[in-house]
C-alpha cells in the first residue's frame, strides 16, 4: 500500500469518527515548476528539484497549507527555452496550478514569463538575470541575487583594496554576457576602469590567449574579474595560475559550488567571489539572522540527499517558502491575491538574504545579501 493511500485512509477514518469533512477530500493546492534538471544547467536544476520535493513533502507531513495538501507538478526542460515555454502552457491549461516556482536559467524564465503573465499566475523565478524583474512585471518575482549585484559587490571589494584597473573576461553564454553588460554599466560608479574586455565561447578549453592579452594590455591591470558559470571559470582559473598573472582573481556567484574548487584544483587558492550566506553557513557569527535558516536547510538537505548543499537549491527553498507564506497570508489560492501577498513579503529570512518585496522591487534583496568569500585551503572562507 502506498504511503499516500495509507495516510489518506488514516485521515479519512479520523475524519469520519469526528464527523468532519475529510481534509484529504479537498483538492490539493497544485504548485507548478519547470526546471533544467538535465542538460547543461543540470548542476543548478537538480538541487532545485530535490529541494522542492523535499520541502513539499515536509510541509504536507506537518498538515499542508490552508488545511490542504500541496502537490508539486514538475517538468524538466533540459535547459531548452522552447520546451520550457511548452511546459509552462501545460502547467496553466492542463495542470491548473495556482503558482509557479521555477525557471532555472534566465533564458527559460524569460520564455515562460509571457505565459504566466497572461494567465495572471504568480511566478517566482530561480534565475539570476536582472531582465526577469526589470522592468517589473505584475506577476513575476525572483529569489536569486542579480548579476548586477555581483558586479557591485566585487567592485566594492576592489575599491576597498584600492584597485581600480580591472581586466574583464566573460563567457559568451547568457549568464556571462548579461553579467558583462552589467559590470560595464556599473563600473564607473565605483571608480573602476575596465582596461581589458575579453570573451570566450561556451565549451572553450583554453583561455591563455585571452588572459595573455589582458596581462599585456596598455597600462596593465590590477585585478581580473571572470563572469561565467560552469566549467569555463575553472579553466580560466587554471590558466590564470599557469600564466602567473600575479593579480587578484574574482569569480562570480555562478561558481559557488563545491565542483568549482574540485575542477580548478590548487589554482583556486586566493580566488574571491560574492556568494550567498549558505555557502559559509557554519562560519556565520551566531548573531547573524540568517544563521538558523541556512543551518537548518543545510542540515536537512545534506542528511536526506547525501550531497553538499549548493546556493542554487537554496534559491528554490526561498522561492517555495515565500510562496507558501504568501498563500497563508492571502488565505486563498487566487492568483492575484497570492501575488499581492508576495509583494507584501517583509523581513523574510531566506538562504539568499533578507527579502523585502515591494511594488517596485520583485526580488527584495540588497547588497548585504551577498558575502565576499575567498577560497583558502580548498574551502570557502567568509571575509566580511
Partner 1 sequence: MDQLLQFVFSGLTVGAVYALVALGFTLIYNASDVINFAQGEFVMLGGMVTVFAFAAGVPLPLAALLAIAVAVVTGLLLHRFAIEPARGASAVTLIIITIGASILIRGLAQIVFDRQFHSLPAFSGEEPIRVLGASILPQSLWVLGGAAAIVAVLWLVMERTLLGKAVRATAANRLAARLVGIDTTLVLAFAFGISGAIGAMAGILITPITLTSVTVGTLLALKGFAAAMLGGMGNPVGAVVGGLALGLLESLAAGFISSTYKDAVAFLVILAVLFVLPQGLLGRRGVERV
Q: What is the DSSP string of 101-126?
A: EE--SHHHHHHHHHHHHHHT--EEE-
Of residues 307 through 346, those in contact with partner 1 by CB under 8 A are none
When binding is defined by CB under 8 A, the residue of 210, 237, 290, 345 that contacts partner 1 is 210
Q: Is 198 in the site for partner 1 (CB under 8 A)?
A: yes
Q: Is 270 in the site for partner 1 (CB under 8 A)?
A: no
In the complex, what is the shortest distance from the CB of residue 343 to partner 1, in angstroms, rounded to a whole number?
A: 37
Comparison of 41 and 293: residue with beta carbon closer to partner 1: 41
Count the neighbouring beta carbons within 10 Å of the beta carbon of residue 186. 16
**What is the arrangement of strands in the sheet containing 165-171, beginning at the earlier edge strand?**
193-200, 165-171, 223-227, 249-250, 272-275, 371-376, 379-382
- Residue with the three cell numbers 548573531: 287
Stretch that binds partner 1, among 52-60, 263-271, 307-315, 338-346 (CB under 8 A): 263-271
Helix (H, G, I), strand (E, B) or coil at 370: coil
Of residues 124 through 183, those in contact with partner 1 by CB under 8 A are 172
Q: Is 269 in the site for partner 1 (CB under 8 A)?
A: no
Retrieve residue 286's grid coordinates.
551566531
CA distance 375 to 384: 13
Q: Is 196 in the site for partner 1 (CB under 8 A)?
A: no
Q: Is 213 in the site for partner 1 (CB under 8 A)?
A: yes
When binding is defined by CB under 8 A, the residue of 50, 53, 137, 199 that contacts partner 1 is 199
Q: Is 244 in the site for partner 1 (CB under 8 A)?
A: yes
Helix (H, G, I), strand (E, B) or coil at 270: coil
Comparison of 207 and 281: residue with beta carbon closer to partner 1: 207
Count the neighbouring beta carbons within 10 Å of the beta carbon of residue 188. 11
Picking from 60, 39, 26, 42, the residue whose alpha carbon sits closest to that of residue 320 is 60
Exposed (0-12), middle (13-18) or buried (19+): which is 252, by Cβ within 10 Å? buried
Stretch that binds partner 1, among 49-57, 146-154, 185-193, 201-209 (CB under 8 A): 201-209
CA distance 192 to 258: 30
Q: Is 63 in the site for partner 1 (CB under 8 A)?
A: no
In the complex, what is the shortest distance from the CB of residue 40 to partner 1, in angstroms, rounded to a whole number?
A: 7
Comparison of 55 and 260: residue with beta carbon closer to partner 1: 260
In the complex, what is the shortest distance from the CB of residue 211 to partner 1, in angstroms, rounded to a whole number?
A: 9
Stretch that binds partner 1, among 80-88, 109-117, 186-194, 208-216 (CB under 8 A): 208-216
Which of the 8 DSSP states describes residue 20? P
Q: Is 377 in the site for partner 1 (CB under 8 A)?
A: no
When binding is defined by CB under 8 A, the residue of 117, 131, 156, 204 that contacts partner 1 is 204
In the complex, what is the shortest distance from the CB of residue 235 to partner 1, in angstroms, rounded to a whole number?
A: 7
Q: Could you tell me if 45 and 78 are in contact, meaning their C-beta atoms sit under 8 angstroms apart?
A: no
Comparison of 90 and 199: residue with beta carbon closer to partner 1: 199
- CB proximity list for 7: less than 8 A, separation 6 or greater: 24
CA distance 221 to 205: 24
Tell me the site size for partner 1, rule CB under 8 A. Answer: 35
- In 241-295 the beta strands, taken as DSSP E runs, fall at 249-250, 272-275
φ, ψ dihedrals at 258, nearest 5°: -55, -35
Comparison of 38 and 344: residue with beta carbon closer to partner 1: 38
Comparison of 204 and 361: residue with beta carbon closer to partner 1: 204
Please list the alpha-helical segments (H only) found in 222-374. 231-243, 258-264, 291-305, 311-330, 335-343
- Binding characters for partner 1, 2-41, by CB under 8 A (x = yes): ------------------------------------xxx-
In the complex, what is the shortest distance from the CB of residue 125 to partner 1, in angstroms, rounded to a whole number?
A: 22
Q: Is 44 in the site for partner 1 (CB under 8 A)?
A: no
- CB proximity list for 299: less than 8 A, separation 6 or greater: none
In the complex, what is the shortest distance from the CB of residue 23 to partner 1, in angstroms, rounded to a whole number?
A: 40
The footprint of partner 1 (CB under 8 A) covers: 38-40, 42-43, 172, 198-201, 203-206, 208-210, 212-213, 216, 230-231, 234-235, 238, 241-244, 259, 262-263, 265-267
Amino acid at each position: 500500500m502506498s504511503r499516500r493511500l495509507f495516510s489518506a485512509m488514516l485521515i479519512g477514518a479520523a475524519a469520519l469518527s469526528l464527523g468532519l469533512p475529510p481534509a484529504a477530500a479537498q483538492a490539493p493546492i497544485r504548485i507548478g515548476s519547470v526546471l533544467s534538471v538535465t542538460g547543461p544547467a543540470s548542476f543548478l536544476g537538480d538541487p532545485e528539484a530535490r529541494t522542492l520535493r523535499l520541502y513539499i513533502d515536509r510541509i504536507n507531513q506537518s498538515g499542508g497549507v490552508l488545511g490542504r495538501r500541496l502537490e508539486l507538478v514538475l517538468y524538466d526542460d533540459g535547459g531548452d527555452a522552447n520546451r520550457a515555454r511548452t511546459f509552462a502552457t501545460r502547467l496553466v491549461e492542463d495542470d491548473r496550478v495556482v503558482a509557479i516556482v521555477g525557471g532555472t536559467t534566465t533564458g527559460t524564465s524569460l520564455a515562460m514569463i509571457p505565459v504566466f503573465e497572461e494567465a495572471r499566475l504568480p511566478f517566482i523565478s530561480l534565475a539570476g538575470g536582472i531582465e526577469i524583474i526589470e522592468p517589473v512585471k505584475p506577476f513575476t518575482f525572483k529569489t536569486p541575487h542579480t548579476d548586477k549585484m555581483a558586479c557591485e559587490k566585487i567592485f566594492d571589494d576592489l575599491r576597498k583594496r584600492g584597485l581600480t584597473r580591472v581586466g574583464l573576461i566573460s563567457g559568451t553564454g547568457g549568464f556571462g554576457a548579461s553579467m558583462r553588460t552589467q559590470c560595464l554599466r556599473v563600473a564607473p560608479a565605483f571608480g573602476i576602469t575596465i582596461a581589458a574586455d575579453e570573451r570566450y565561447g561556451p565549451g572553450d578549453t583554453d583561455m591563455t590567449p585571452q588572459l595573455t592579452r589582458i596581462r599585456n594590455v596598455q597600462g596593465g591591470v590590477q585585478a581580473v574579474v571572470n563572469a561565467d558559470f560552469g566549467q569555463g571559470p575553472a579553466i580560466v582559473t587554471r590558466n590564470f595560475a599557469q600564466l602567473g598573472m600575479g593579480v587578484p582573481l574574482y569569480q562570480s556567484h555562478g561558481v559557488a559550488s563545491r565542483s568549482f574548487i574540485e575542477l580548478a584544483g590548487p589554482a583556486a587558492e586566493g580566488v574571491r567571489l560574492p556568494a550567498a550566506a549558505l555557502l559559509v553557513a557554519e562560519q556565520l557569527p551566531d548573531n547573524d539572522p540568517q544563521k538558523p535558516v541556512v543551518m537548518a536547510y543545510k542540515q536537512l538537505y545534506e542528511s536526506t540527499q547525501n550531497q553538499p548543499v549548493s546556493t542554487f537549491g537554496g534559491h528554490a527553498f526561498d522561492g517555495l517558502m515565500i510562496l507558501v507564506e504568501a498563500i497563508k497570508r492571502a488565505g486563498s489560492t487566487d492568483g492575484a491575491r497570492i501575488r499581492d501577498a508576495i509583494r507584501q513579503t517583509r523581513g523574510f529570512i531566506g538562504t539568499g538574504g533578507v527579502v523585502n518585496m515591494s511594488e517596485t522591487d520583485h526580488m527584495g534583496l540588497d547588497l548585504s545579501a551577498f558575502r565576499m568569500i575567498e577560497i583558502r585551503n580548498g574551502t570557502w572562507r567568509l571575509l566580511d
